[in-house]
A and B are shown apart, each in its own frame.
Chain A
Amino acid sequence: MNWTRQYPGWAMFAAMIGLLLFLWGMAVPLAAAPAPIGPAAEQFADGARITVGLTLIAGTAGVLIGVLAGLGKLSSFWPLRWLCDSYVWLIRGTPLLLQILFVWLAFPSIMPEGIELSDFACAAIALSLNIGAYNTECVRAGILAVPHGQVEAARALGLTPLQTFMDVVLPQSMRVALPALANNLASLVKDSSLAYAISVVELTMVGYRVQAESYQPIPVFITIAAIYLILTTAFTTLTAALEAQLDVGQKR
C-alpha cells in the first residue's frame, strides 16, 4: 500500500472516518438487500459495533499490558520478572476460549460482593489479557532492539530513567514492535468472535442467529465474512499508516 506510506496522516484519517461511516451507515444499504439480509440489517450493524468495540478496548488495554509486562520481563527484580514470565506462559499455553470462559465463570466468585461484570466486560477482560501476553513478547523484543548508546546519551544528558524510557526507549522500541503489534490487533478482530461463547452478541453471534432463523446460512455467512474483511482492512490500513508515521528518520 504505497499510498499509506506516502501520506500516513491522511491514510489514518481516511481509515478512521471510513470505519465510523461503515459502522453507522452499513445498515442503510444492507436494509435494501433481499431477505434474509435486509430485515436483519440493524442486527448486523449492532454486531459489527460490538466486535469493533471489543477490539478497540482489548487492543488498547493489550498495548498497555504489553508495555508493562514487557518492561517487567526485562526488570532486574526477579519476582517481577518471574510474574511476567508466568503470565505470558500461562496465556500462551492455554486456549483463548478457555480464558474467556474462565473469566466469565470464575470472576463472579472472586470479585467482591456487589461488583457485577457484564458479559461484554468479561469478554473484554479476557481478550485484553490474551492479546497483552502476545504483545509482551513484541514489546520486549522492541526494547531490546534499542541500541544501548541511546540510553547512555539520554542518561548522560541528565534525563531520569523514566524520562529516558518515555522519550527515547519507548518510541524507538515501538518502531520495531509495531508490525507485530499490528498483526496481533488484526487477529484480535477475528478472535473477538469467541466472545459468542459467553453470549456476547458480536458479529459472528449475529450471523449464527440470523441463519438459524432463516435457514439460509450461505448468504448470511458471506455477508458476515465481507463485514469482517472490511473491518480487518480498516485496522490494517490504520496500523500500516501508523508504522509509516513512526518510521520517520529511520531510513531515507
Chain B
Amino acid sequence: MSLEKSGYRGFLLTVLNEAGVDIGDVIRVENPNYTYEGTLIPRSEFGSEDCIVIKLRSGYNIGVKVTRQTKITKLRSGEKPAFIPPPQPEAKPGLRRVAVISTGGTIASRVDYRTGGVRPALSASDLYSVVPELSDLAVIEADILFSILSENMTPQHWKKIAVATAKKIEEGVAGVVIPHGTDTMAYTAAALSFAFKNLPVPVILVGSQRSSDRPSSDAATNLLGAVKAAAYAPFAEVAVAMHESTSDDSILIHRGTKVRKCHTSARYAFKSINSPPLARVKNGKVTMLIEDYRRRSPRESFEVYPEFEDRVALLKFYPGLNPEVIDFYVDKGYLGLILEGTGLGHVSARCFPSVKRAIESGLIVAMTSQCIWGRVNMNVYDTGRDLLRLGVIPLEDMLPETALVKLMWVLGQTRDPKEAKQLLLQNMAYEFSDRTLMED
C-alpha cells in the first residue's frame, strides 16, 4: 500500500513524504520527550488528525503525535510478506462439482499481518486452504464475478450474477454457491428466484455475519452448509444458507423469496418469514423441512430471464407521510410502486388522490405490509376497500422487499400493465403461500 492510499492526509502526509518513509517501513519517531520505534501502519479510519500509527515490536499498535518538532527517520524498509499457501488438500475422486461464484462480502478472506487489512481469498485453492473441509464435500470451481459491498449491489449486478450462474449450470455443475454480503443478500436471492425458470439445481447464496478473518467467523460453517446443500440437497430453488441460531452446529436453508435479514449483527439474522425454512444442514446431513418444493430436474428446460426495471420504488407509509412523495415518483417517470402499508395494508386517506393519479398514469401500485409477518387483507376495513377500488394490488403474504424485486423483474419482462399485473400475481417461486402458520 502506498502512502497516498494509506489514509494519511494533509500535514501528516506531508511530514511522512518528507521523511521518505512508506507504509510497512520500520521507523523511528522522535518527539521532544520520548521516542518510539515501530512499523508504519495505515491510518485508522477513526484516528486523530495529528497521530500516525506504528506497530511496536510487541505487536501492539499505538498512535504517535506528530508536530513540527517531530523527527521521523526510516530505519529500514519493511519486509514484503509473501503468502505461502499451505499444501492443497488432495482432490477426492467421485465428488460432485459445485460452482462458487463470489460477489463480495468477507466469506473467504485473509488478513494482512502487518496492517490488519482484509483481502479476499477467492480462488479455489484459497478456499481450500481457508476451509480445508470443503475438499471432502465437493470439487469446487471458483470464480470471482466481482467483489463489492452488498449495499452497492444494483439490479445490474443481479443480472450479471444470474447470467454467470446460468452459465455454470449449463456446464453441468451439481449446484451453485454464491458468496454475498449479507445486507442485501435477500434481495439478490429474490431476484435470482424470479430470473430462473425451471431451475435444475440448487443455487445457494451464503454470507457471514462475522468476517472470515476472525477465528469465530460463521463464514466457514455457512459455506460448508451451502456447498453441502448445493451438491446434495434434493431441491432446485434459489436459497440462502446461514446460521440457524447463535450456535455453530446448524445451518438453515431459506427460500430466496421468503427470507429477510432481521438482525443487524447476530449470526441468526436471517429468518424465513411467513414460511418454514426450506431445509436444515446439521451434522453433515441435509434435511428438508418443507414437502412442497421444486425438485432437481434435467437441464433441458432451464431458462434465464435476467432483465430488471429499476424505475420501481418501495415506499414505507408512516403517519404524516406527505402524498407529494408519491407524486414525485410519478413525475420522475417511475413504472411501479410497492407500498409498505400499515397493518392489513393501509395508507392514510390523504394519500388517495396521489395513489389514484399514479395508477391513472400507468404505474403498477401494489400493497404489502410493514408488519413483516402476516398477510395483507384489504377487505376488512374501509381504507383497504377504498384502495382496492383505486386499483392497488394486494400482494398477500409477500415480503415488501420480495415484492419490490418481483415488480422490477415483471416490468423487466413486459410494459403492458395488464400482463404485468397478471405476472405480479402469479406464484412463480413460492413468493406467495396459501396458508400462514403459527410461528414457533
Pair from one complex: no
**A residues near B, CB below 8 A?**
none
**B residues near A, CB below 8 A?**
none
